[in-house]
Amino acid sequence: MTTRTIEFREALREAMSEEMREDLRVFLIGEEVAQYNGAYKVSRGMLDEFGPKRVIDTPISESGFAGMSIGAAMMGLRPIVEFMSWSFSLVAADPILNNAPKMLYMSGGQFGCPIVFRGNDGAGGQLGSTHSWCVESMFANVPGLKMAIPFTPYDAKGLLKTAIRDDDPVFFLESERLLSIEGEVPEESYTVPFGQALIRRPGTDCTIVSFGRPLYFCLEAAKTLAQEGIECEVIDGRTIKPLDIDTIVASVRKTNYCVVVDQSWSFASVGSEIASQVHQHCFDDLDNHVMRVHNDDVPAPYAYNLEQEMLPNARKICEAVRAVTYNA
């Protein structure tokens, strides 16, 4: 394939545009996605190409446009619903959690809900407590939905195309802090399958598992630890539902140690679930318990220095790896 270097936001735009050209049932809806080219310029130029019937600006009413889009999906369309922030999805919790994931089951297979909910998840940079939610631990608990968290522009495009084609509701969690990063993306159309984790850095001494933006801190920590003689294997889970536990288990059976890095709060988190499954499958292979690195158990601070301290970072990850491998 021929590749070029583009931004994360451009990769998202290409995924949506390509699928909209291929399938007239696909449309984009959300706040400022049309006239303003997207709050973060992800949908720049899409209104000009597809027109106001397929790139639709909405009022500030997440519950309203999410519910309307679920109805459209039930009738055969394939909406892409953009939340400016996943923090704002909380006011749409009833339609997106109580309707979309349950519709196929409750209708006895008569009505599916092929819909993608996407937007920025987690701390975007001094946005305060109510605009910095990490929703994965809350929403992944609900049966009937799928959840993807891309880390690179390549995965952003490939996973989003897979999400748009999927017949189930997909929660697609992006990070505002990643939108400007650049990476190589093929010019040709491609998809990245759900449920296939990727080893971002091979290693032999400890397995580090994460999703999305925290992977940058994991790779930074792995580089630091390598200088100390600790070679970490860093795994990008890519999707939480479905979770590729097999890749994680195979790595832990090789390294005998595991650290899970999750940008959610620790209690009842995705990190907790992964740790539980690793303990279940690798009990005889582990030489210590699974260590977890999470956000501190406080609301996200506004002050920059406090926000950075609250989030998972390379220092915390290094400390966790040293502790679990007895190198503290």
Per residue in 35-57, pLDDT (tens digit) is 999 999 999 999 999 999 999 99
> Which residues carry out catalysis?
62, 131
Q: What does the chain come to in residues?
A: 328
Give me the sign of the Cα torsion angle 63, 69, 73, 78: negative
Confidence band for 207, pLDDT divided at 50, 70 and 90: very high
Residue 328's pLDDT is: 63
All structural domains of the chain: 3-186 (3.40.50.970), 198-324 (3.40.50.920)
CA distance linking residue 191 with residue 159, whole number of Å: 6
Residue 316 in tokens: 């915390």
Angle at 178 between CA 132 and CA 316, to 5 degrees: 65
Average pLDDT (277-284) is: 97
Residues 6+ apart with CB under 8 A from 42: 9, 12, 13, 82, 179
Residue 136's pLDDT is: 95
pTM of the shown model: 0.96
Average pLDDT (24-45) is: 97
Give me the sign of the Cα torsion angle 285, 293, 178, 147: positive
The residue with greater pLDDT, 251 or 123, is: 251
Mean pLDDT of the chain, nearest integer: 96
CA distance linking residue 328 with residue 203, whole number of Å: 19
* pLDDT tens for each residue of 170-184: 999 999 999 999 999
